[in-house]
Structure 1
Amino acid sequence: MEILMSIVIGLIMMCAVYLILSKSLLRIIIGTGLLSHAVHLMLITMGGLPKGEEAPPLLGEHSAKGYIDPLPQALILTAIVISFGVTAFFLVLAYRAYQELETDNIERMSENEDRLT
């Protein structure tokens, strides 16, 4: 299962890098979102994937012998919320830049840089 997840993570990262290297600001924002999702999947995969039927992580005399550590899952949940906030900020920033410069092309934005000052 880890091999399959590694291939999926690689494909998502490949698409993210392709989008980040484009000239459109909206594609760059989508690329950063995809890259953060790929990193989240990588961290979850590194934390351990369940094999077969797993018992619930109980403590005491009925405890399961092997259970998955919940700490990486909690950290991933926090990272998802933070990446959502950063993506929302990027979208607002891109919208404001589009209103001022009337383009989302990075090269045209650098040409119109003197308009903002």
Structure 2
Amino acid sequence: MRQGGAGPTLVLVLAVGVLAATGVTLLLERSLTRILLGVILLGNGVNLLILLGGRSGAAPVVGTAEVAEFSDPLVQAMVLTAIVITFGLTAFLAAVAYRSWYLGGDDEVQDDLEDRQIVQLAERNEALDADLGGEGPDDDPEQVDPEPARRRLRRRGGRQ
């Protein structure tokens, strides 16, 4: 940013755009490693965007400059908070990616059965049936696997 509060430079605005666009593009990938990198880039782009929203100037420490020349300390506090949140999310996604790699040998997110059914319906241009409710676990056409519901019913029946 320029001294005197003239506003953000074009380079910083372009950097925000590139970081955000690259982060969103990586978030749409199937690999957890790329999703992790997308979260990091998007977080850094948002942090820079928040920082660009504040007033530029001297350090907000009493006695170093005039109060009117201080930069906005609230923006800096918000960026520090966003950094901590991004770090926590990054640590969580890194743990999920490591666990996926450890158990499965790769970190690609697989489609589940409901995703495949939605794709098949979209290819046939069919609308989803409305869930009317009130069906039991054996009669529910929307239920993919009724086995977990049967196990729950057996457990409930065994406890009573």
Is this a same-fold pair by TM over 0.5?
yes
| Residues 66-114 of structure 1: CA deviation (Å, up to 9, x unaligned) | 321111101211211121111011101111122222221123x648xxx
Higher helix share: 1
Aligned-CA RMSD value:
2.4
TM-score using structure 2 length: 0.58
> Gaps spanning 5+ residues in structure 1: where?
112-117
Which residue pairs with 2:62 in the alignment?
58
Which of 1 and 2 has higher RCO (CA within 8 Å, sep 6+)?
Answer: 1
1:64 Cα deviation after fit: 4.1
Determine if the alignment matches structure 1 residue 103 to structure 2 residue 113: no
| Separation of aligned partners in 2, 1:79 and 1:12 | 15
Structure possessing the higher radius of gyration over alpha carbons: 2
User: How does 1:24-35 map onto structure 2 within 5 Å?
Assistant: 24-35=31-42
Letter in 1 for 2:28: L
Evaluate the alpha carbon distance shift between residue 56 and residue 25 of structure 1 in structure 2; reply closer, same or farther with a 3 A threshold.
closer
After TM superposition, the runs of 4+ consecutive aligned structure 1 residues lying more than 6 A away are none
Q: Contact 2:56 / 2:72 at 8 angstroms: preserved in 1?
A: no
1:47 Cα deviation after fit: 1.2
Evaluate the alpha carbon distance shift between residue 23 and residue 55 of structure 1 in structure 2; reply closer, same or farther with a 3 A threshold.
closer
| Residues 24-83 of structure 1: CA deviation (Å, up to 9, x unaligned) | 110011101110110000000001234xxx476536xx7343321111101211211121
Which residue pairs with 1:14 in the alignment?
21
TM-score using structure 1 length: 0.76
| Separation of aligned partners in 1, 2:36 and 2:66 | 45
